[in-house]
A and B are shown apart, each in its own frame.
Chain A
Amino acid sequence: MLDRKRGIFAEAWSIGKAVGQAMRITFVNFFRKPVTVHYPTVTRPFPNRFRGLLALTYDKETGEENCIGCRLCEFICPPAVIKVEMLKAEKRNYAKTFTLELYACEFCELCVQVCPTDAIIMMKSFDLATGDRREMLLDKDRLHAIGLQHEPSWATGNLLRDMQQPPKKESKAADAADTADKAKATDKAAGA
């Protein structure tokens, strides 16, 4: 602490100055507005793309279930938490059972990305706390209920795949501008 070269008074003065500087910074922060968000009375606004709870959706026009039981989400899921059984019917297929183990889900959004019918999506909510782990084993009814309870995030399978689509070889330039614009448009459409 004592630097022989500078002499004790210069050293003491520099120490005092440095100490005063540090205390000044803390003092300045005293008058800043606290950054506390008074959760749970106040929740901060979720961004558009928030990856929260998973849910199954219904078709907006017809009201039918979107899920066709193709099991793509089951195969892609890294921790293998999704289990689907397909039910074949005349016009289209359905999911007979759809279980999702939310306690093991890693919220990577890969299932949302691969879904061809935009059936499975993520919601802007993370309220998962429960006293019983069995409540986090979501079955099909529960997943549909979650879909109706909370606000959905922006991402659906088709939107994600469109965003990641490389342009066609013919007109690269036009498509390049197109992709960027499309991203903006989809974000605005799904908007705040």
Chain B
Amino acid sequence: MSWGALPPAVQALVMGGVILGALTGILAYVTLLERKFAARLQSRIGPYRVGPRGLLQPIADGVKLLLKEDVIPETADRPVFNLAPVVFLIPCLLIFGVIPFAPGIGVADLDTGVLFFLAISSLEIVGLFMAGWGSNNKYALLSAMRAVNQIISYDLPFIMATLVPVMLAGSLRLSEIAAAQSRLWFIAYPVIGQIAFVFFIITAVAAENRVPFDILEAESELVAGFRVEYSGMKFAIIQLAEYAHVLGTSFLGALLFLGAWAGPGPIWLGPVWFLLKALLVFLLITWVRWSFVRIRVDQILRVSWKLMLPASLLLLLATAATIVWRTPHA
């Protein structure tokens, strides 16, 4: 029974299963990549004792978290507390459903791919707030309140920044955006491409609660923020979800700006190039993370509303003007 003969629903299901499986493996090793990269930035070696050059470290971490005691505070709101990690995880995994990993390979190639991605990825706020509320902990509550503020504020400039490649490609469908970069990657588009990429990175860092915008988990003040009461596998799920979100945004960035699967070599090497580009974006976000101190929540919001939003609106206007100017009139 050939692949094409299967009904599209079954095709999507199998594809989803394969992608989820590959994703979990990649996620585990992305954490190791981040730790080693961060270590080298800090003149030290990352994990190196577990397995050859530390390659078994993620597995060791997973086993450790599995074996830890699952502590639920007595006064916590149990259903909310227990469901929160799952509600947090689902949107972060769903965003991978709409990314095409190669022309034709992907779970679903929606007409409104970009819109779906952005909408679903901001649903993680629900899980986050459930975690903060259900923990019955002042620190967690403070952190959840800050998180809602921050993610909502930065979603707008994030949308504007992703709209630039959409306008340049003329479609919301992710595979079409990737195909439209066959001549020129959008990051190489004079001025507008670079600025849009910079804005994308900034707002992505903010929307994912990474330093310098990670006030909601400011360890030195709030000691892990909304995650403070979680231990064991629930904590592992929350961590996994956060990294999945970062990786998903990196894939989106690679697709929107870096040409997705375009690269030298045969066509089946495409997904590998895509992964490498996504890891490049991920390392860029990580490099930003490990270079700066964090700013206060009111400053974060000020940057968003007073700087990023007007700037990204201006950028959209400029993009529209450029497109009109460069389109030959019929």
Contact = CB atoms under 8 A, between A and B. Distances in A.
Query: Per the CB under 8 Å rule, do A and B touch in the complex?
Result: yes
A32 B291 contact: no
Given A1-B303, A2-B307, A35 B43 contact: yes
B290 A26 contact: yes
Nearest to A15: B307
B44 A34 contact: yes
A22 B290 CA distance: 10
A1 B295 CA distance: 11
B291 A34 contact: no
A2 B299 CA distance: 11
A1 B39 contact: no
B306 A2 contact: yes
Contacts, number: 36
B43 A29 contact: yes
B38 to A, nearest CB: 10
A19 B287 CA distance: 12
B307 A26 contact: no
A1 B300 CA distance: 10
Interface string B255-279: 0000000000000000000000000
Given A2-B306, A22-B292, A30 B44 contact: no
Interface size range on B against A: 10 to 19
Contacts of A25: 291
B307 A34 contact: no
A102 to B, nearest CB: 29
Interface in A59-118: none
A183 to B, nearest CB: 35
A27 B42 CA distance: 10
B291 A36 contact: no
Interface in B283-318: 287-288, 290-292, 299, 302-303, 306-307, 311
A32 B43 contact: yes
A36 B41 contact: no
B41 A30 contact: yes
Nearest to B299: A1
Given A1-B303, A22-B292, A23-B288, A36 B42 contact: no
B287 A23 contact: yes
Counting chain B CB atoms within 10 Å of each CB, the highest count among A26, A29, A33, A36 belongs to: A26
Interface in A1-47: 1-2, 12, 19, 22-23, 25-27, 29-30, 32-36
A15 to B, nearest CB: 9
Contacts of A33: 43
Given A23-B287, A23-B288, A26-B290, A1 B302 contact: yes
Contacts of A19: 292
B84 to A, nearest CB: 34
Contact of A29 (B42, B299, B303): B42
B39 A23 contact: no
Contacts of B303: 1
Contacts of A27: 41, 287
Contacts of B290: 26
Given A27-B41, A32-B43, 9 more contacts: A12-B311, A19-B292, A22-B291, A22-B292, A26-B41, A26-B290, A27-B287, A30-B41, A34-B39
